[in-house]
Chains A and B, each alone.
Chain A
């Protein structure tokens, strides 16, 4: 767990976040601090401890595999920045 491995430019790219150079520097420094703080978890003895993913453990929550009405198409498109022919329009993905 080395906080000095933290490359904000790389991680921001993974997160699809464009940062200005000023942001990279400022946020990078603040995050370095925060990472330094969370390093303390390394001192906790977690041998034999199971991880908790659910605050109140429930398992196998299912419902019958029966089709139910969903949101109508026009409602789903209502907030679209760009739409046409019942589709969300985005920049070209495939060359």
Chain B
């Protein structure tokens, strides 16, 4: 049952030579063979390449390389299909990239490899990271490992499902409006959105450049701390990356929350919140107090405008970022009599409906005559949203909320009305707008069917250490992280 270990547990076994990296990877591949036909988390994976990496890791271990030198040596980690890995396909869940093979590694992939990880797989996602259910993938929909009639969340649905179903020890995803935290909550694992700029975006196919961040999915907080530390750091190839030291996030996870002040945003505890989610979060808040934290009410007055602000800014940025998919240099091409016709036909054929909706909306809000009324105004509201958080963080160390208003919904339930789908991101979206840190971890289950419920922690910019501290203490004092999904 190697595939059910956490990264931390696996590292221990590898270090003691009680298991090999090849055995660990093989246990993942066996699990994928067993459940992925149903789960559909993986778009593809290169087993020979992964096995070669595992063998190289075993060779290093035999030669005396330690986990102090390479903290993830021998650990199989899979990637959302939005991150470039040299020599591997990169489709971003879309048809438009055709048979594209990445000529380079994303910085986060380089860092994982330098740390000794076995990096493999292309995990399913909503096309170009646009969606909250993975139903917008051009290929197929991933299922939730707790109930295969339900969605795993999105856009990093494959990444969340793979970890919850024990197909990989950890995965990477991306989060622009909640695309790590929401699927983590719906699948019952730990998902981290680092502070904007903490992790390099070089090699992350861009959706919205001022909102995107790469982050981890893991089965424990300690694992999340380890992987976040590994992928964080300044990168000269990403001019938005922060030149700030990366703390050892795995230190200080001691279970004691005395002295920590937590905030409950009154605007978040509103109608539309499923009663079981409300109760689970309330119980979690009580548990956090039992562990020594104090709780007070805070206000984020501009929260009600976050979804509207996001769908102007993110779509505007997406319309610019996706202009590069034109059939000229890579991907699928539909011929045209002139380049303009080629672009229109290529993009018309290659993009799915949600991507088209967002590109059109983004183009409109940036267009002459409308820029000031929409985009510029949204940027100003964004300032107000950020200020709300910075003000709140003068009083509290972190804010606690539900991650999602409900547990996982059924396939097809929200696909008819895009706006309904957008509103399910109501708790996660303002974090990206404000550029702060965020994390989701399990805090219970609904009764019937048994579906995971996520607790969200929001911290100040570069507040990851605080979030890991709180999450670890809560996790170790509760049973949720020990439950295994039906497919796991």
Which residues of A come within 8 Å of B, CB atoms? Answer: 1, 6, 8, 11-19, 23, 26-27, 30-31, 33-35, 37-38, 40-42, 44, 46, 49-56, 58, 61, 63, 71, 75-76, 78-82, 88, 90-93
Contact = CB atoms under 8 A, between A and B. Distances in A.
A79 B100 CA distance: 6
A93 to B, nearest CB: 6
B381 A44 contact: yes
A11 B329 contact: no
A41 B377 contact: yes
A91 B336 contact: yes
B135 interface: no
**Interface of A: prevailing SS:** loop
Contacts, number: 181
B351 interface: yes
A81 B327 contact: yes
Interface of B: 98-101, 103-104, 195-197, 210-211, 236, 239-240, 242, 302, 304-305, 307-309, 311-312, 319, 323, 326-333, 335-345, 347-349, 351, 353, 356-357, 359-361, 363-364, 367, 370, 373-374, 376-384, 386, 417-419, 422, 432-435, 461
Contact of B361 (A16, A19, A34): A34
Given A34-B418, A40-B305, A78-B101, A52 B361 contact: no
Contact of B419 (A26, A37, A92): A37
A92 B433 CA distance: 42
A19 B331 contact: no
A44 B434 contact: no
Nearest to B322: A15
B103 A49 contact: no
B121 to A, nearest CB: 20
A55 B418 contact: no
Given A15-B347, A17-B351, A91-B337, 13 more contacts: A1-B374, A11-B364, A38-B311, A41-B308, A44-B384, A46-B384, A52-B379, A55-B434, A58-B239, A61-B239, A78-B103, A79-B100, A81-B331
